[in-house]
Amino acid sequence: MGCLISDSWVVVVLFLPVLWVFYKVWMMMRRNEVERNGGGFAVPRGSWGWPLIGETLEFIACGYTSKPVSFMDKRKSLYGNVFRTHILGKAIVVSTDAEVNRMILQNHGNAFIPCYPKSITELLGKSSILQMNGSLHKRVHALIGVFLKSPQFKSRITRDIENVVRFSLSNWMNKSCQVYVQDETKKITFEILVRVLLSVGPGEEMNFLKREFEEFIKGLICLPIKLPGTRLYKSLKAKERLLKMVNKIIKERKNAMEKTEESGPPNDAIDVLLRDTGDSDEMQQHRLPLDFISGNIIEMMIPGEETVPTAMTLAVKFLVDNPVALAHLLDENMELKTRKDQTCEEYSWTDYMSLPFTQDVISETLRLANIINAVWRKALKDVKIKGYLIPKGWCVLASFSSIHMDEMNYENPYEFDPWRWKKVGAAISSNIFTPFGGGQRLCPGLELSRLEISIFLHHLVTTYRWAAEKDEIIYFPTVRMKRKLPITIMPLQQ
């Protein structure tokens, strides 16, 4: 038996290079075919790299440097702003061109559909918001967007975020005066988002959700192997446990709604999705299935564990590195605090969002951090864009980080300069600032994310001063601090 297994592996190893050669020949033939029919449009130039792994190793290695876009910059210099490569198991076209990116985002559903690495598709499933397409995506996106923009929600969530942030900051002095910002911000934002999605407060359920979600999200970028013991297998098991709990909450809510026939404003995302029945009898037959709702509720937790806390953490780091910006931010927020203390008025959503320098700090943090660095799409047909031909079936990566770090778009792009936003003002093009994506898939929670960061920064700088230990940013598989940004805190002397 052992000899048979050994011989089989020898055959497989010997056959892999042959498969790679056939693959490259097929790709070359396909490229020649589409170029002949391209009418002057050419398939982007580039390299497929090594057999099977392509250029993945260099792509990952750059993610552990201070300039992760160096992978893109090197190929831009060789092949132009749009090039082809082979990374993470996929042959793709990479766009570092703002106009091409805009066309990719705006043409979603007609020419392009989502296309992500296999580990992501395995974990999130075919019915995830990230991967769904067409009318169903528009329906869910619109439902959540309208809910997050409602005046009732804005008023309530502002108070909820303030309570969570104040409570969390008040506990910092009990941690020997040293805290890890990345860990603390994750606690804050995950609790806020779970309230928005499920109306679950602190306690056993919240702890279970956070613990299992942390295990689940580790597998988003990993080798797509589902054998027991692998990262993807562990994450899939964590998702099963999450689904079981979320399904239970949804069923209980559905039963309660049927009994009471409640018609007031929705309290959370579950209410929104359960109540959606449409205006016609035909739509009544197309209620969103409960397993669809639970799967997407879990997916909507991602900003609470990754994007928003990362933005908060990096804003603290950038401010530590720029004392002048920190002082300016403190002055602006102390002025608001003094005014509120004198009038005894509650803070509103508008109060926080109207702090101009604070918003500039957030914009600069999002630009420089590139937490969402790109989107993946797949061409449904041969697409001609700006002289390039993207063949049908090819994947496309629209790089946001390359646009944000291009000196043609931003002067001294690697410098943290919140004042640049005052200079450019409304003149900044949405094509070159895309921290929340764009087109039909523009993140519906972008204003909520800015509010969370604004409230956190306001109460942080008006409560504490701090000194940070040396730390560095890592950009792969996700953006994070290597040491979780440890800081020593002291009460602000007033």
**pLDDT at residue 282 in the model:** 44
pLDDT of 28 reads: 57
Residue 15 lies in a domain: no
Range of the domain at 288: 135-378+384-491
Q: 489 pairs with which residues across the strands?
A: 466
Are 345 and 352 contacting, i.e. CB atoms less than 8 angstroms apart?
A: no
Distances in Å between the alpha carbon of 389 and those of 36, 78, 94, 396? 11, 18, 12, 11
pTM confidence score:
0.88
CA dihedral 69, 73, 75, 81 (to 10 degrees): 110
Q: CA 48 → CA 18, 64, 74, 196, 333, distances in Å?
A: 16, 22, 15, 44, 51
Domain-embedded: residue 478: yes
Please state whether beta strands 90-95 and 395-399 pair in parallel, antiparallel, or not at all (unpaired).
Answer: parallel
* Both tokens assigned to 62: 């750059």
The pLDDT, as a whole number, for residue 107 is 74
Residue 26 pLDDT:
52
Residue 474 and residue 486: Cα distance in Å, rounded? 15
443 is in an annotated binding site: yes
pLDDT reported for residue 280: 45
| Residue 338 domain-assigned (yes or no) | yes
Domain presence at residue 285: yes
Q: What is the pLDDT of residue 428?
A: 63
Domain presence at residue 193: yes
In a domain, 29, yes or no: no
Neighbouring CB atoms inside 10 A of 166's CB total 12
Does any domain span residue 44?
no
Q: How many CB atoms lie within 10 A of CB 224?
A: 17
Low-confidence spans in the chain with pLDDT less than 70: 1-40, 108-109, 175-176, 261-263, 277-286, 425-429, 493-494
Number of domains in the chain: 1
CATH number at residue 467: 1.10.630.10
Q: Which of 216, 233, 214, 215 is nearest to 224 (CA)?
A: 233
174 assigned to some structural domain: yes
